[in-house]
Amino acid sequence: MSMKISIIGAGSSYTPELFERLAQMRSQLPVTDITLMDIDSYRLGAVKAFCERFARHLGMDVRIGSTTDLDEAVSGSTFVNTQIRVGGNACRVNDEKIPLSMGLLGQETTGAGGFMKALRTIPAMLKIADSIEKNAPDAWMINYTNPTGIVSQAIHDNTQIKCAALCYGGVRAADRAAAALGVDAKDVQYDIFGLNHCNFAYNFRVRGRALTEEELYKVAENVSEVAVDLTSRLKAVPSGYTQYYYHRQKKVEALFAQNKTRGETVLELEKEIYADFLNSSFDQKPPSLKKRGGGGYAAVALSVMDAIYNNRDTWHVINVPNNGVFRFLPDSAVMETAVLVNANGLKPITVSMPPPKAVWGLVSMVKNYEMLTAEAAVTGDRDTAVLALTHHPLICDYDLASELFGKMLEANRAYLPQFK
């Protein structure tokens, strides 16, 4: 019996992580064919060359194909893994620098940077969804393309495909609590409320026992991105990305002080990574790849695929439509929350207690921005785009939003045909 998965955006330096995890889970996921697809033939060729050597090193018995044709890649797939970056890291640099030039946060997924990335990315993701509907209608899209929450909103609003939009951040709270308390992460349970890169884990238990105030403070101390006293007062463990909301001025000043943006650093690093991929002496992950950082998503992605393929009831944090879980938000609002995953799909888990009141407003405001952004990306309506930026909590100024959108639209014009 054959089983094919396709990786769209396979020229990403994160692709080898998927191969490594697939090798570890070959008994659960008997993959026979992997098709790598990317529009960048150089990166695609480099990654394929390395992954062929890496697969042999890992003892994988799998056929590896590559193509620049989306329909060919998707056809016959059981799972379609999406990890695209429209415009590459060159566009990321603009996303970082243009807002900073106006005294605003310049970051890959949060604020104006994430906004522009969403506008570039959503049309391409809808094209992939259309290909799935035509060429592999029973397939699941496993998405970790950022900004995954807004991308997922657009997918759910505009298509009928089966989509699991993931991020490692949703399960990081268990790791942090486990490290702080000296327990196994598998023994940590919690409720989670919010959005991708704006979520809050709360109501922590260890083997069913609620944490004491002292234990919760220990967990708070393990969240380095946000002030310990704030985390303790919230009685929730926030996503590391909430540092951009709770410590906005400090973060903007720190970004101003850097000689290079993160995007510029990654652009330089990628030259080394892809040269190593093409170096036939490497059949294991080269040291340059470790410098890239990030990652971790493969473990989450493969666990979700395992749960679906083998009908294995599994708890995960995934971006799904709210559908009444949090009653003060629309049912159609895509949330990052706990779900039960099995062959029947993704079922949001009703929370055992409401989230802390202190975080309702921030999440609601960011969700309002996200829904407007998803709409603007599809329609190409400039008024909706400016409204989205205006209502982002890191901007909240119509004049700034209007000027910022004009500058960022000009810099991204080649990637935004919908805004004619």
* Known catalytic residue at 190: no
Quote the tokens at residue 404: 């910022």
| Angle at CA of residue 77, ends 76 and 78, nearest 5° | 125
Q: Which of 74, 66, 101 is nearest to 6 (CA)?
A: 74
* In contact, 356 and 200? CB cutoff 8 Å: yes
Strands 209-210 and 198-206: antiparallel
Give the whole-angstrom CA distance, residue 16 versus residue 220.
33
CB atoms within 10 A of CB 324: 11
Phi, psi of 334 (to 5 degrees): -75, 125
Q: Which of 101, 2, 1, 84 is nearest to 36 (CA)?
A: 84
Quote the tokens at residue 390: 């205006």
Q: Which of 28, 23, 36 is nearest to 64 (CA)?
A: 36
* Catalytic position from the list 190, 202, 241, 369: 241
Instruction: For 247-277, give one letter per residue: b (16+ CB within 10 A) or e.
Output: beeebbeebeeeeebbbbbbbebbeebbebb
Identify any residues that bridge with 355 across adjacent strands, giving them in sequence order. Answer: none
DSSP E strand stretches across 322-386: 334-342, 345-348
DSSP 29-83: S---EEEEE-S-HHHHHHHHHHHHHHHHHHT---EEEEES-HHHHHTT-SEEEE-
List active site positions.
241
